[in-house]
Structure 1
Amino acid sequence: MLNQAEELYSSLLRDETTPADASCSEILIKLETATEKKNPALAKTSKPSQ
Protein backbone atom coordinates (compact mmCIF):
# COMPACT_ATOMS: atom_id res chain seq x y z
CA MET A 1 0.00 0.00 0.00
CA LEU A 2 2.83 2.40 0.80
CA ASN A 3 4.44 1.76 -2.58
CA GLN A 4 1.20 2.71 -4.31
CA ALA A 5 0.94 5.88 -2.23
CA GLU A 6 4.52 6.76 -3.14
CA GLU A 7 3.77 6.23 -6.83
CA LEU A 8 0.72 8.49 -6.57
CA TYR A 9 2.75 11.17 -4.80
CA SER A 10 5.47 11.00 -7.45
CA SER A 11 2.84 11.24 -10.16
CA LEU A 12 1.49 14.39 -8.54
CA LEU A 13 4.98 15.91 -8.38
CA ARG A 14 5.50 15.21 -12.08
CA ASP A 15 2.09 16.76 -12.90
CA GLU A 16 0.93 13.44 -14.36
CA THR A 17 -2.02 13.35 -11.95
CA THR A 18 -4.22 16.21 -10.83
CA PRO A 19 -4.94 16.75 -7.13
CA ALA A 20 -8.62 16.16 -7.86
CA ASP A 21 -7.89 12.78 -9.46
CA ALA A 22 -5.47 11.87 -6.68
CA SER A 23 -8.04 12.63 -4.00
CA CYS A 24 -10.36 10.03 -5.55
CA SER A 25 -7.67 7.39 -5.96
CA GLU A 26 -8.23 3.92 -4.59
CA ILE A 27 -5.03 4.00 -2.53
CA LEU A 28 -6.02 7.20 -0.69
CA ILE A 29 -9.44 5.78 0.05
CA LYS A 30 -7.82 2.63 1.46
CA LEU A 31 -5.41 4.70 3.56
CA GLU A 32 -8.25 6.86 4.86
CA THR A 33 -10.25 3.76 5.83
CA ALA A 34 -7.25 2.26 7.61
CA THR A 35 -6.65 5.54 9.45
CA GLU A 36 -10.27 5.76 10.56
CA LYS A 37 -10.13 2.22 11.92
CA LYS A 38 -6.89 2.88 13.84
CA ASN A 39 -7.67 6.35 15.13
CA PRO A 40 -11.07 7.92 14.43
CA ALA A 41 -10.03 11.27 15.97
CA LEU A 42 -7.04 11.53 13.63
CA ALA A 43 -9.16 10.73 10.59
CA LYS A 44 -11.56 13.56 11.41
CA THR A 45 -8.73 16.11 11.49
CA SER A 46 -7.37 14.94 8.14
CA LYS A 47 -10.56 15.82 6.23
CA PRO A 48 -10.74 19.25 4.60
CA SER A 49 -13.21 21.64 6.19
CA GLN A 50 -16.21 22.73 4.18
Structure 2
Amino acid sequence: MAVKKVALACSVCGSRNYMVTKKPTRTDRLQVKKYCKYCDSHTLHRETM
Protein backbone atom coordinates (compact mmCIF):
# COMPACT_ATOMS: atom_id res chain seq x y z
CA MET A 1 0.00 0.00 0.00
CA ALA A 2 1.45 3.35 -1.05
CA VAL A 3 1.69 6.29 1.32
CA LYS A 4 -0.46 9.24 0.24
CA LYS A 5 1.27 12.62 0.30
CA VAL A 6 0.01 16.18 0.08
CA ALA A 7 1.90 19.36 -0.75
CA LEU A 8 2.39 22.42 1.42
CA ALA A 9 1.90 25.62 -0.58
CA CYS A 10 3.27 29.04 0.37
CA SER A 11 0.47 31.47 1.22
CA VAL A 12 2.40 34.41 -0.33
CA CYS A 13 3.68 33.16 -3.69
CA GLY A 14 1.73 29.87 -4.00
CA SER A 15 4.73 27.64 -4.74
CA ARG A 16 4.51 24.09 -3.46
CA ASN A 17 7.80 23.58 -1.63
CA TYR A 18 7.19 20.71 0.81
CA MET A 19 5.54 17.28 0.76
CA VAL A 20 4.04 15.67 3.89
CA THR A 21 2.22 12.40 4.49
CA LYS A 22 -1.55 12.53 4.69
CA LYS A 23 -2.90 11.33 8.03
CA PRO A 24 -6.53 10.17 8.25
CA THR A 25 -6.87 11.47 11.82
CA ARG A 26 -6.20 15.08 10.77
CA THR A 27 -9.53 16.76 9.98
CA ASP A 28 -8.35 20.34 9.40
CA ARG A 29 -5.79 21.46 6.84
CA LEU A 30 -2.25 21.62 8.16
CA GLN A 31 -0.76 25.12 8.54
CA VAL A 32 2.93 25.51 9.35
CA LYS A 33 5.43 28.37 9.19
CA LYS A 34 8.19 27.15 6.86
CA TYR A 35 11.01 28.75 4.87
CA CYS A 36 10.16 29.61 1.25
CA LYS A 37 13.21 29.87 -0.99
CA TYR A 38 11.27 31.91 -3.56
CA CYS A 39 10.06 34.53 -1.04
CA ASP A 40 13.37 34.28 0.88
CA SER A 41 11.56 34.37 4.24
CA HIS A 42 9.53 32.28 6.67
CA THR A 43 5.88 32.27 5.58
CA LEU A 44 2.72 30.35 6.37
CA HIS A 45 2.42 27.14 4.30
CA ARG A 46 -0.96 25.42 3.98
CA GLU A 47 -1.85 21.87 3.00
CA THR A 48 -3.19 21.56 -0.55
CA MET A 49 -5.09 18.72 -2.14
For the criterion TM > 0.5, the same-fold answer is no
| Bigger RCO (CA 8 Å, 6+ sep) | 2
TM-score by length of 2: 0.21
From the two aligned structures, give the one with the greater strand fraction: 2
TM-score, normalised relative to structure 1: 0.21
Greater share of residues in helix? 1
